[in-house]
Structures are given as C-alpha cells and as structure tokens.
Structure 1
C-alpha cells in the first residue's frame, strides 16, 4: 500500500535526517572515546532555572524578561531542560524551586540565570519578587528568592556542575529606608565546591540595564557562551572583557568559586570522518531518532523504512498509543502472513515478540500490555501480560482509594463545612461519606457558634460614632482584604517525622516529660505557616474593623490578663489587655493577652466566615518547629546539655557554661531574673526580659521565626494528657478536654523544660496571658 504524497515526502525527509544524524554521531563518538578528559557531551543531563523579573510594583525594568527569554532559547539549543519563570511573584517562588529540584539528579549540570532587581542584607543576596512591597529589611526575606536557597537546592541534588549567572545588580529603590545592614549591589558568596557564580558586576557595585533589547551583561553572555570548544571559565572571562568594553570600564563582571572539572557549553572535535553505517546500526539509529521525536509521523516514517525492523513491533505500539480515532494515519506496510513466512522469518517474528515484550515491560502501562495482546494474541508472554493487567487494575483501584483517603484527610485537616462539602461533591458515595455528612453538620454548628460569639463581643459602633461626633464609617471587608494581603506564609512540603520526646529527652520536670510522650511517627501534608507570630499591628486591623472586645477587655469578673509578678508567678491584672500587656511593646511585637476564643473570632473575620486560615494542629506545629532536626531543641545540645546544666539552677552560676538558648530564642534568662527575680532561668542573657519584636532572633531551618520562645502559641487541638491514641497524620485532635487547648513553643518566661520542640502545655480556651499569642496556618487550595 502506497503512502499519500505528503506522508511519503515526510518519510523520505525523516530517513534523510536519520542518515545525516548517524554520519554526525559516529565520528563524534569516536572522538569522545579517544580522549581521557572528556568535555561536556550530549549525554550530560542539563537543567536550567531561568527567571526574568521586570514588572515590579515599585520600580519596573525594561530588559529582564527579554534577557530571560533569549537565555532560555539559547540554553534549549544547547540541550538544557529549562524551567522558565517570567515576572515571578512571591507566592510562586517555592513552586519554581520545586520544579527545578524535581528535574535535577546526581551528576546533573545545574544552571541558574536571573535578570532583575537584586539586593543584599547582612551578607545575603535576595532577588525580589515583582509583587514585593518592601519598606524595611524585615520585608525582604519573605518576598524574595534567596540566592543561598538556590545554591542549597543544587547542592542537595548532588549535581555535578553548578553555574549561577546573576544579572541582578541593577540600581533599585528598595534600600532607601533600610538600616546600615543593607548595601547596594550584591554581596560576595562563599560558593560551595563545584559551583561557579558570575555576577554582572563587582560585588557591591551596580550594573546597567542596557539601551538595547537586552541588558549589557546578558547581551555579552548570549554572544559568548555558544562559542565552540571554550571552557566555561574562559567563556566568562571573555564576557567580562565584552562588558568592560561596552561600558568603557564602568562595569566589570565578577567570578566566584570554581569547578572540579572542565565544562563546555558546546564542544568541538576533529574533522569528521564519514562512515557508512551497517544496516543494524541504521535500524537502531532510525529507531532512536523516532523515539526522540516521539510523534505519530516519526514512528510511521520508521515503519515505512524498516517494516520488518528490530523495533517494528515497538513502533506499532507507540503509534497505536499516539494515534487517535479522529486522526487516522495510513497503516504501515504489513508483514507477510505467518503461514507464508519462511523459517527465517518465523525466527524474526519470535524476536519481534521478545523485542516488543521488552518494550512493554519498560513502559509497564495498561495500554502497552493491551497492545501486546492485540499484536501477539498467542505470544510467549500472553499469560504474563494478563497477570500484569490484573495487577495494574488492582493498583489503580488502590490509587483511587488513596486519593479518596487524601481528600478525606484534607477535609479533616481544614475541618470546615466547606471542606466536607467539597469531599462529598467529589465522593458522594465514598467510603467516608457518612462521616463527612456528620462532620459537616458539626462544623456548621461550630461556625455558627463562633460567629455568634464574635457578634456578642462587638461594640455597638453606631453609638460609639455618635458619641465621637460621627466617626467616619469603616469598610470591614476592605480592611479584611488589606490584612490578608499583608500576610506572609511559608509553604512547607509534606513529610514524615518522629513527634514527641524521645526516651532520653528528659528534664527535671516529670510532668512536662510525660505530656510529650510516647514518641510516634506522623505524616504531615503540604501546608502553609506564617513566618512570624501575629503582630499587634495586624490584630489591631481586626479590632478596628469590627470594634471587637477581647475577653480581657469585657467588663465582668474575668476582666483583664495574666501578667508576671516578682518571684515567677502570673496573676490576673484587670487593667491589662492586648494593648497594654504589662510591658512596653511596639506594632512589630507579637500580640498577647488573647484567648483561644479571641483567636477563633479573629479567624472568622479574616476568612469572611469559613475559609483556609486557621490555627496549626500541634503535629503541624512541631513539624515546623523541628524543621528537620531530631534533637530536643533545634539548636545543638549534644550530651543533654540543658538537663545536665540546669536542673533547678537559679541562673547566673559562674561554674556553668553559658546556655546556647539565648543565641537562638527569647527565653527565661538573666534579663528576666534581673527584672522580675525569676527563680529558674537559662544561664545566659538574650537582652530581652519580656517579648521581643518578630524576627529579632534568627530563623529556623524552614525560615520561620520565634517557633521556640518569645510567646507561647495556641494550636487547634483539644488537650490530651499525652500522645497515646494520637493519629498518625497531622490533623488536630478534637477529642479530649476541649475546654482546654494545647499551647506550644514556650515563651520569654519559660524554663528549660519547656524550651523544647516536643514540649506541650495546656490552658483554658478563655485564658489570657502576656506571654501567650498565636501564629496563622493555612491549607493550600
């Protein structure tokens, strides 16, 4: 059967291309084999993350997106798998890094190119997102891509060669209101082994955006990096010369780090020798070319040239999977019927049976096994194929069940009427449908009660305005949206960890130890957690929008908040509340003197009813606090340092070494002992007797601040005396004593026993104290 003319022409072009590829590939292979130190070759796995940020809210740029697109196209031509982001927003930074990381593997060539604004703060380089609204140094880390994070991603992936190209030293408006910790341009980085970093200009200097379609630096890169046979270091030196010449010496690119071997963007070999490939080589090369193209036309062209080739059956499988009923392709030339084949062709048929089976096993999908059975209904591997189809059917059934379990667990984690409705919409007759219906009714009742509680606590704004002479009318929804825009949450990826205190994690307080046991494994899903504890300024937006009265402010017998007294006791002070907690605070301090009930009213307002913002479960909280660590505290305390040194120490013992805690967290220390005669403190001074502004102390491994110390944090869980019967996932425990809720993290008043990742405390849901606040969590949609 003849092919239509356009397919015939296509097939001829394809075969011609295959032969040209063979002629080019074989001498290159011979050249590679003849060298001891081989430069970059096509077998390398090359991955690039390319980011161009131009559409900044505060200071847009002209060229970075053009730079990124041109670099993407150039890298693709050099066999890089490119992850591309234009005008990267803060919420998308994590996704870009995850996609980049997913493509890397040990030994990869990893490249990061960035064009846009960049700035340094305290020796770290940040690349701001285009929607960043930066007015102070504290805003930068959570609205920017940290260059060190990219380097860590490369290092963790064990890539063989790491290249970082930063056209990010343009002058920018962000640092005008910064303290002396910020500088112009970018800072020098201590590059990890096997990493080469190239800056558009010297560290601390400013680069030009360029008058043409590309920045001055990127234009030089584009002109230089595809020069054949030039090692990367030499290529970048030539880029430096180009830039210096173009700017008349005003801008000089800078290189940091070194590679452990040679890397070439494009290699070159000796004069090519034309070798006529053998028929077997030609068949294999044609098949490889068809696989690389992976189109129906390519497989059809292969079959036209090699209807009885070694890979003919595999090509038919591929063709069948790519061809749809609406786009029929002409059939490949048929092989002679089995009854008319000579003996030699029968052997070839058996070889095709085995060859196809090997292809099917390599893919291991239902479609491939079904195609094999159609192609060889009496083949040697029919029984195996049918067995595999049964296994895959069972596997698919289990996967569907797993998806349903995940949907149910997500609904439980969010624990809202809307979440259970979403599960029921997807699985109306699912395994957990009856439970979901009951949970939906319960969540609806709880939401109604929370709303009623919030309404009871809101002042009559009309009468207040009248007394003040008609205050300006507020728009609560506008205030709520503004509050949401100001939130900054870290995206934490799913993981598994050992929750609770290990057997050797002991203190002098047996009750604290018992509450944190038994240790058990917990699987945590993806979720988001605020970088900082909710601040005074943020909570004020809620109060101003609703005129809400916290429980500490409501007239009655329980008016007030518990504040510290000399000697280590907390007692109720009727004049204390979140505005006046008994010590000086600023808008950047964490809000305190708020009860768990107050937090629920705040969340109801923030969500506009039911919604994604919530308190973390205590399992989520501990996962975030540990940030991958397994020691009692996130900082090192080898040898049970605290238990050994601080068994009821009164602090200030000159014979004991200073505690590491004060370098990492705001805890009960010498400052508090001096101010309030606190009886049990850490043997150190952090300079903060009471709470400190968010971010004063360093962040943990997940870039979260004040997870340990500063103020205790409410969680969603009801109190249970220990972890017995705790679930193996991270949903909150809503059984137990729900009149009391779990508090985590310890505070500025906490003794060493409660400055631990596993430490748990309880308080009544109506309790308020000047060392107790909260942190927001969110389940991604």
Structure 2
C-alpha cells in the first residue's frame, strides 16, 4: 500500500518532472506493480493449495447390514474397509456399524461438531436407502416400515445430513451413498420407486451415488460391494484428483457389471483436490508448467506381488494365502530389547501398586537383547470366517464344543468372567460377523487349524514364538505400545477397554466397539500389522516359564519346557491400560478357551 501511494503522489507532481524522466519512471512503476500482483496471486494460490492438502479432514462412516427385512452381506465390510483407508489418508474417522436411528442421529451430531474444526468433511453410508415423494432416506437397522407414511419417522432423510455439512462452511464436502440397494419393504408399498432421486449438490459439495438415479446397486459377490470395491482402490491413487477418482470408479463399476450399474455424481465446481496426494513444485525437468505434480501424503503399505516361494523377500512385501485369503507381511529380521524397561516399571507401580506389580509383571524381567530372523506374519488375527471354513471342511469339534462350555463375560454373567454352558467360537457371548477375530479357541484348536492349513499349502504355518510376537508388536519402536506411551491415543490403534463402552477402569477414549471389532479396523503398526494390541489375545508357540527371560538364547529364543501352560500375548477388548502393553505376558492351559482369546499365524521360511 505504501508503494502504491508513492506512485500516486509522483503522478500528482508530474509537472515537476521532465517528460523523458516521467516516461522512464512510468515503465518502472508499471513493472513493479505487475510483480506485486503476480506474487500476491502466487501467495494466495499457495495458501489455497496448502489448505486443500493439509487441512484437517473429518469423516463419518456408517455401514448397516443386519436388517430385519433384507439383510445385506457386505455393508459392514464396506464401512470398515472405507474407515481404514480414510484413516490412512489422514481423516479423523467416526465409524459406526449396524446402528439404529437413535445412534445414527447421535453420530450426525458428533460429526457436525467436528466439522466446525475441519477443512474437508466426508460422509459415507453403506446399507439400504430409498426415495419417497422425491426425498431420499437412509434406513437404520431394527426398523420395520409397513407403509410409505412411516418412512419419514423410521428412516433418516439425507437432506438432514447435507444441512449439517453445509452449515459447517467447509471448503469441500463429500457425500458417498452406496445405499441404492433394492427396497426391502417394497412389498408393503403401494407406489414403489427404485433407488434414489437425484439431489442438487450444495456449493462446494460432491454427492456420489453407487448407481444412477432410479436404479439399484449390487451388493457384490465378494467381501465388498461392487461400487465400494472400486472406490477403495481409486481413493488411494495419488495421481487422481477427486473428480477423476469418481470418474474412474464409475468406469470400473460399469466394466465389472457390463454397464448394468452406472454410478452417478452431482457436484458444483471446485479446485483440484487430491485425497491421496499433496502439492509439490513443478519439476524443473518438465517443460509442461500448466499443472502441479503430486505425491502421496502417506506411503501406503507395500503390496508387491510375492510368489509362493519368494527368493529374496524384502521388508513390507505381502503375500496372500490362496486357501483362506489371509494376507501376510514380511517382517524384517533385527534385534530389540525384550521385556520391561525401568520407566515402565515405575509407571506400573504407580498405576497398579507394588502388590499387583509383583504378582503380574515380574515375569517381564530382565530386559534383555534378542535377535530374530526375518519372517512372515499375518496382518490380522484369524477371522471367524476363516475358522468356519476349516470347521466346515474337516468337521472339527473345538475344546469348547467337546466340553460344552467356555469362559465368557457379558451382561448375562453380570460383567464378570464365568465358565458358562453352551458357549463356543460360534456363540462367544456377543455378536460377531465373519470378519471378526475368532475367539473361544484353545491352543490345541489353533494347532489343529494350522496342521490342516499346512496340508493344503506349500508353506509351513505356525504360531509365532513369544520373541517373534513381541518384536512384531513393537514394530521397531521402544515405547510401551507401538503408538507411544500415551493412553489417550489407544482408540485410534486398538480395540481396548474404552470409556465409550462403559468399562472401568478404562482408556479415556472410545473405540466404537464394546466387544471384538472387525479385524483391521484400526491403524496398523509400523510393520503394517493390525490389532497387535487389543481386540483378542493371541496364542504363542512357547511354553510359559516365569523365568524365561533369564534362559533365552540371544538369537531366535524359544522356550519348550517349564510348565503346563502356553503363552498368549497382546491384550483384548476388555483390557485396561496398565496391562495392554507390548511387554505384558499371560499364560493359559492348552485347552483353555474364552471370548477374548484367538490367534494369528506366521511363516518362517
């Protein structure tokens, strides 16, 4: 402003300047003004790019499957997978599955509050949806609708959510509706219309439909719905901005369904935005300066194709078991300090007291250096669906089946652990789907499962040794938990005894699940492994010995004697902060089974 005023002052005094001098000054001043304008525009552009790529991102993800009428196979799977991808892309994610109307509206309010502090808001819904009299509705679970007039009272209008997102005033909002499944109540309706009606997107909003207005989307024949399966792939492509990402998703769906399903997008103009990328200066080697190049915000987990017998596997390589579809990641060999640190001991005595520390935590000593060779570890715990396939093929009866009972903890037991008749891996005392970790399985059950899988595969599967497990759980870190020593971050990384589920004592956060969560729901550790802490305890190969750490070999230690117990590690959905740590050890008899104990596999070749 000072420079511009100076320019104006010189023109007012023009008569005091010779003509040639005035011409020369005029040219210089015009050049200066043009430079100022250029740099001002450049700064605004840079600020806009920064806002669009580094601002806070908030997402609400809802998946409903267990409808009384017209249950869906993949909606919860879709929501869980979408939440995982969004977390990797930097979103603060609220994940809700199989929610009734009251919970859905409560999650809307929570989402609305978080949007006020965000730059981008995203809403994703998978489940049943319908249109009545030109209004689109999302259908909660536990809903019974007998006629059209009941819809507005039993369902949730999409416009209700759009109004909340518009009120937040974010530069960009994204609404994804994989909800155009067939109307489950159509036989009760006099005037039935398929799918959704098209909505006009508010300013700065993208509304993406799984299929075109008035059409029905497929639930898919795999783990995910047809639309979401394509969406998950393209969401993580750093070379696609939002417009191109939705366009490519539409092309993928049309190709897979032979153009029977055509996704639809309603939007208003907005600048290029890369969900999986951030701005970089244009390359000096490129002659094309008309666009900005992008690179991923976060390096995705390596997913290189690996043969059945990789010659020289590299850390982060993945391999998928062809029998059950279990995905394994290559864990690099290395050395680490195994056991409890001095700082950890001080924390435990302060939190638990000397007596409890002496009873439960002394077997974590002494802290000692251990080295392990590289190995393959399953990214997640063995799921209920994978175990079900084994039982279906072999007719195997677990220890819980043979004994007719298992240890459970729920409202029926007054929230204390009791051995109850009639419980097993199919009935653990709470609701599960095929993508939850299998529980109520003994060490014996896990070994029979592994022997069966070894007979069907070229690989040699096993339970991890205790040293392998702790090395993998730490993920190369030196903290009590791989995300750090803080209790408050637990619910981003693990299914724990959380405040939101009413556990006491608890972590001061909410992880969204009172009992087990679908595997892979939370963020992975640095090795790309999920649920290494929380969700379900995991059996190890070792015999439990309270003095094992004084007997360990330096390289690949493995304890084969010392008691009738086997080791299990990792904590679970009801474990409190002082015990949910990478160093904590637990022991159980080989036929023991309860509703928070499962297992995961390793391959040592």
TM-score (norm 2): 0.49
Greater RCO (CA < 8 Å, at least 6 residues apart): 2
Structure with greater proportional helix content: 1
